[in-house]
Amino acid sequence: MKRRKFIQKGAIAGSFLGLGGLGMQHAYAKSNEEEEIDTMLLSKKKHTFNLKYAPHIGMFKELVGEDPIAQLEFMAAQGFTAFEDNEMRNRPVAQQEAMAATMQKLNLTMGVFVAHKIYWTEPNLASGKQAWRDEFLADIRSSVEVAKRVNAKWMTVVPGHVDLRQNMAYQTANVIETLKQASAILEPHGIVMVLEPLNFRNHPGLFLSESPQAYQICKAVNSPSCKILFDIYHQQIQEGNLIPNIEKCWDEITYFQIGDNPGRNEPTSGEINYKNVFKYIHSRGFDGVLGMEHGNSIKGKEGEQRVIDAYVESDSFI
Residues 6+ apart with CB under 8 A from 121: 161, 205
Strand pairing category for 226-231 and 289-291: unpaired
Name the pTM for this structure.
0.87
Q: Are 315 and 49 in contact (CB under 8 A)?
A: yes
Helix (H) or strand (E) holding 84: none
Q: How far apart are CA 237 and CA 232, in angstroms?
A: 9
**Closest among 203, 173, 179 to 193, alpha carbons compared:** 179
DSSP assignment string, 115-127 = -S---SSS-HHHH
Predicted confidence at residue 45, as pLDDT, reads: 66
User: pLDDT tens track of the chain, all 318 residues?
Assistant: 433 333 233 333 333 333 433 444 444 444 444 344 454 444 456 899 999 999 999 999 999 999 999 999 999 999 999 999 999 999 999 999 999 999 999 999 999 999 999 999 999 999 999 999 999 999 999 999 999 999 999 999 999 999 999 999 999 999 999 999 999 999 999 999 999 999 999 999 999 999 999 999 999 999 999 999 999 999 999 999 999 999 999 999 999 999 999 999 999 999 999 999 999 999 999 999 999 999 999 999 999 999 999 999 999 999
In this structure, the number of other CB atoms found within 10 A of the CB of residue 283 comes to 10
Q: In the chain, at which residue ranges do the beta strands (DSSP E only) sit?
A: 52-54, 82-83, 109-110, 154-157, 192-195, 226-231, 253-257, 289-291
Where are the chain's structural domains? 47-314
Predicted confidence at residue 44, as pLDDT, reads: 58
**C-alpha separations of 75 from 5, 36, 54, 60, 110 in Å:** 19, 21, 9, 8, 13
Predicted confidence at residue 303, as pLDDT, reads: 98
- Tell me which CATH code domain 47-314 carries: 3.20.20.150
Q: Which amino acid is at 287?
A: D
